[in-house]
A and B are shown apart, each in its own frame.
Chain A
Amino acid sequence: MIALRRTPMMSMLPIVLMLVAVALLPAACGKSGGGSGVTTIQVRGSDTMVNVAQAWAEEYTKVQPAVGVEVSGGGSGVGIAALERGTIDIANASRNMKPEEIEQARKNTGQEPTEFIVGYDALAVFVHIDNPLSEVTIEQLANVFAEDGKAVRWSDLGVTIPGVHDDTIVRVSRQSSSGTYEFFREHVLGTKDFKLGSRDMNGSKEVVELIGSTRTAIGYSGMGYATVAVKMLKIARAAGEPAFEPTVENTISKTYPLARSLQVYTLGEPQGAVKGYIDWILSPAGQRILEESGYVPVNRGGGGA
């Protein structure tokens, strides 16, 4: 009685599904690395790095047609967790692996994770373009974002946003699997926790999009994601100290307080196709793509150690 009645649409469903399955079949074969002799490198992790990782992957198939690179995001934590299980070849991370994660990887796979710094990034603090605020201190940021922080309205920071009647600060944050989330917590909040009630977005781009459409919003994301609808704030380490813009120069000189390195991890010393790929990422060609994506290349950052 409660069964859905079969209409023409529904009876077509199996046929459509079958067509889709047939269409996907060659792709599924390619994945296993058999058939056409294409080796596939599986890359997962940081959402901050997913754009540049995809740009690398696309370019690399032109350089090395015999190697396919599959990239997915999810957050640094997701990539590292997958590396610990040995299900991927390369993990992208916008934070360093923690000692317990290295231990876990060693225990699961018997191999030591190897780290390669592939670039630098400045974590930018964004506000809406109409927000008159132009610089902020780390302490003020903590006041806005930390659990016991007192700043709830923009007037608490002495800011009046034009054309807004409710000036409650809309905090935009990231989900807890994000390396950006952990980096921000470590460098801005110290050991404190985030205040609950922030909008936790699933990607770097979403953060900037929401801020761009919300006059009372503030949030953080990679500087490569800036758009015309948002403004990057200058950041000072403490009140009275000079504030620095998130620029390439300030990132390299580390005068910008929220500069960080971007890294990839492999299990053991990389070999074969994976080694070739990482060498190419670190080569001038790979670094140029990184720079075009809005990050700072390693050679200009002063050594890849």
Chain B
Amino acid sequence: MSTVPTTTGGGVVQRRPTRSTVALLGERVIETLIRVSGVSAVIFVVAIFFFIFREAAPVLWSEDFHILEFLFSTEWYPTSVSNVRYGTLALTVGTLSVTGVALLLAVPFGLGAAIFVSEFCSPKLKETLKIVIELLAAIPSVVWGFVGLTVMSKIIVTLTGTAVGVNLLNGGVILALMSVPIIVSIGEDALRAVPDSYREAAVALGATRWQTVYRVLVPAAKNGLLAAVLLGVGRAVGETMAVLMATGHAVQIPEGLLNSVRTLTANVAAELGEAPAGSSHYRVLFLTGVLLFWITMVVNVAADLVVRGIRRK
């Protein structure tokens, strides 16, 4: 870690100590800074969880809240005058189904594109593709939402003959379009990080390009590829504005791809502004945040376990 200044040699001894105290001090400072920024990531995560939970906690013991109803009821009536009910099951199912549809579309396309960009295309095309893909990642989510609301919904209505074009399929397609650039960028980086000696060895053994990819490169880069998929999932689960506009925002358990749904995130975005600070509704919305936090954590831990399982084999 720290480099101890060498004070050997006669003539240098005079000048070196003065320089090295400054250098030593500077190095200490920089070392501390780096350590702090490393630890800060952990502190931030813990702090965010703590503050969200602190806002949500009082409702857990209140009269009109039942944790089982919160988790397993589909009835979401936060502002009812006669019978307030806080059931988020339909919203959780909404989030999971939209994310699922998005991943089914985004993972094959994303990883396929990553493999193509990294292994098969010419350097010139590669540069162009990378720029375009990163441009795609820079499109704000509200613009995607607008695309879903106006363009995609018309396409879906024309193709399927359904009554309303803002639905689960629309949200899934829009989220897939948003996650593909992330999966491609990171997946391509992961594949590029595989040493060229692997490729050379594969070619030396007489492997075709395709064999090289799926026997050598993909297994070697699996951690990075999984990270790419996970960040894609993260984007899909956490996305708010685009799904708010593209899914139709209806509280119901979807029976098919063409049903409208509402996600946890979209629900928080639509309702938090109006919920009086400190009210049960407000606290339940924060609890929804805690629920989202757990969903992403479970996904991450599960993926981590999967990676370890693969590694052991």
Interface of A with B (CB < 8 Å)? 1-5, 7-10, 13, 74-75, 77-78, 81, 84-85, 101, 104, 164, 166, 168, 170, 175-177, 182, 185, 191-193, 196-202, 210, 213-217
Query: What residues of chain A lie closer than 8 Å to B275, measured between beta carbons?
Result: 81
Q: Is the CB of A7 within 8 A of B131?
A: yes
Q: How far is the CA of A3 from the CA of B138 in the complex (A)?
A: 16
The residues of B that contact A185 with a CB separation of less than 8 Å are 81
Q: How far is the CA of A13 from the CA of B75 in the complex (A)?
A: 45
Q: Which A residues are in CB contact (< 8 Å) with B138?
A: 9, 13
Chain A residues with CB under 8 Å of B189's CB are 1-5
User: In whole Å, how far is A253's beta carbon from the nearest beta carbon of chain B?
Assistant: 29
Chain B residues near A74 (CB-CB < 8 A): 273-274
Q: Whole-angstrom distance between the alpha carbons of A82 and B92 in the complex?
A: 29
* A residues near B271, Cβ cutoff 8 Å: 175-177
Q: Name the B residues within 8 Å of A182 (CB-CB).
A: 79
Q: Which residues of B contact A176 (CB under 8 A)?
A: 78-79, 270-271, 274
- Is there contact, CB below 8 Å, between B227 and A2? yes
A104 engages B249 (CB within 8 Å): no
- With known contacts A1-B224, A2-B186, A191-B81, A197–B250 Cβ distance under 8 A: yes
What is the CB-to-nearest-CB distance from A111 to chain B, in angstroms, rounded to a whole number? 17
Chain B, interface residues (CB within 8 Å), range: 35 or more
Let me know if B80 and A7 touch, CB within 8 A.
Answer: no
Contact of A193 among B83, B90, B157 (CB under 8 A): B83
Q: Is residue B252 within 8 Å, beta carbon to beta carbon, of the partner chain?
A: yes
Contact B249 A7, beta carbon cutoff 8 Å: no
Closest to B231 in A: A2
> In this complex, what residue of B is CB-closest to A191?
B82
A198 / chain B contacts, CB cutoff of 8 Å: 250
Q: Is the CB–CB distance between B270 and A2 below 8 Å?
A: no
Question: Contacts A4-B189, A199-B249, A202-B244; is A104 near B164 (CB within 8 Å)?
Answer: no
Knowing A2-B190, A193-B77, A200-B249 touch, does A177 contact B82 (C-beta < 8 A)?
no
Q: Is the CB of A170 within 8 A of B163?
A: yes
